[in-house]
Structure 1
Amino acid sequence: MLKNSLVLAVLMLTLGMAGCGPKAYVRGDYDQNVNETNLLTDSWSETDMQKAVADLVASATSHYAIANAKRPPIVMVTKLQNKTSEHIDTQSIMDMVRVELMRGGRVSFVDKAARDDISEEYDYQDSGMVSRETKKGKGGQVGADFIINGRLDSIVQQAGRDKTVYYKITLNLTNLTTGIIVWSDHKQIRKRFEKQRVGL
């Protein structure tokens, strides 16, 4: 009798611990609209990135340096400094900035990250493997007129069950000839959360 009771107690304890353990996600689905607001987390999210990039790109393209240019300015995207306490893929943010600016057809880009690949291809084409008529040589690239860089900051405040997360992303467009920042703007995002009450 005692042995049976002990086995039953161990079994119930095991089941209880399993119920308290991490839950596995066993079913998933694709969102039909990735632009819908996502507030599942108090961290930086894709919704924050989409909102920030959309506003900053609209601001940049309406500025005279781009809007009144006689030809599409040639821009190089550089770094977005992450001054938050989170691990955020800032390269993904700057990639989205570049893509959205290019979609408007008013800006052209040179890719800093592709320089090594381009240099290797020049060496290959100069090796005799490529016809003289089609090979590309050094000295023909176009220099950038501007660079885009920026900074991402955050402030987290918590009092009791309430938590506020604030982000500010700032972008700058700098003229490479003069070194002057010709455009600068920021997007502010603030999210409020409330902890769920624990208990019966």
Structure 2
Amino acid sequence: MKKSEQTHYEWFFYAMSFLGLAKIGCRELINQKYRDKDFLTEDLLYGAEESNSRFLLIPIFFNVKHSLELFIKTVGVNIDGEYRDKHDLDYLLKDLKSRVKNLFKNRNKNEIFQKIEDLKSIVKKYFLYNFLENMNPIRDYNNELFRYPSSKRGINISQELEKFDSTKVGEILNDIKKIHILFISIRGLTNSTKLGHPNPGSWS
């Protein structure tokens, strides 16, 4: 495997790793097979079992959003060698679509566009935090709201998670499965090696 191919593989592997851990977290919330309540000290535990699910919801949602960001960047560099140093999922996806339009002149372009549109609906859901009910849409330009308890914009996402309906974890798990399928499909359609494009440059 050439160095550039190895680099692409590693970035794709990272995106899939974050997504995979989110999937495991969802399954654990549903099955509660390995849950270790002793992991949290008494002062960190909440009274209701539903509230305690927040312990895993934080990394689940962060990993879903981070995997989306990594994957979109991975595909972008894979097709033209350009890396976008941004965290805005909406911008990254629009930029990716523009790059596909400029680069792909063959029949694969329409199929790629359709897959990107399918991914767009999921990206929008997590970019605007539409999965949290009774919460106004938030444009998380820096993809930061699950990295810290509160943000510079004064948004306390932890409080919003307390309102999350834990019975909807299955819906998040289904989203993860859809994302996984789209990752595999889009990567295959835009693989620069298969399509004979020049080797991408440095990821920097």
Q: Same fold (TM over 0.5)?
A: no
Q: Compare the two structures and name the one with the higher strand fraction.
A: 1
Q: Report TM bin, short chain.
A: under 0.3
Q: Could you tell me the TM-score, scaled by structure 1's length?
A: 0.24
Q: Could you tell me the TM-score, scaled by structure 2's length?
A: 0.24
**CA radius of gyration, larger in:** 1
Higher RCO by CA contacts (8 Å cutoff, separation 6 or greater): 2
